Amino acid sequence: MSIQKTFVMIKPDGVKRKLSGEIIQRIEKKGLSIVGLKMVRISKNKAEELYAEHNGKSFFKDLINYITSGPVICMVIEGDEAVSVMRKMIGATDPKEALPGTIRGDYALSKSENVIHASDSEDKAKREISIFFNDEEILNLNIQTV
């Protein structure tokens, strides 16, 4: 068993279309734990930091404008092989290629408005989590406090 944490974000179109509850329910039904959760409006600076690998590409400006266009829900998800499990759950970036039963296959409208983001590696998960969460905002579910 390899317990991992990963970063997941319900994008502006997912929040606007009121899909957040359904997506969160899918994550929990899969047996993964939500150990951090917040709704935010991403600043331009944080958006550029999140998508730094795409800086200089033709779609970068549109991506930044889109991700900052409305509130998002940021989550830290924990569980066995959480990174790969979430990537399978969300499906392909292009909804035309995403299988039915995946989040994007069921809900995404286009390649640019594809409802959800999830880290694609453990290293990226650590980096992306650190952009949106500090250590105090991430629960340790093994410790019980009153």
- DSSP type of residue 136: G
Q: Is 81 exposed, middle or buried (0-12, 13-18, 19+ CB in 10 A)?
A: middle
> Which secondary structure element, helix H or strand E, spans residue 125, and what is its range?
helix 122-132
Classify 28 as helix, strand or coil: helix
Determine if residue 87 is labeled as part of a ligand binding site: yes
Determine if residue 104 is labeled as part of a ligand binding site: yes
- Amino acid code (one letter) for 96: K
Q: How many beta carbons lie within 10 A of that of residue 18, not counting itself?
A: 8
Determine if residue 126 is labeled as part of a ligand binding site: no
117 is catalytic: yes
Determine if residue 102 is labeled as part of a ligand binding site: no
State both tokens at 65: 């404008």
Determine if residue 11 is labeled as part of a ligand binding site: yes
Determine if residue 26 is labeled as part of a ligand binding site: no
Q: Which of 117, 119, 125, 128 is catalytic?
A: 117
Cα–Cα distance measured from residue 116 to residue 73, given in angstroms and rounded to the nearest whole number: 9
Could you tell me which residues are annotated as the binding site? 11, 59, 87, 93, 104, 114
Could you tell me which residues are annotated as the binding site for ATP? 11, 59, 87, 93, 104, 114
Which residues does the annotation mark as catalytic? 117
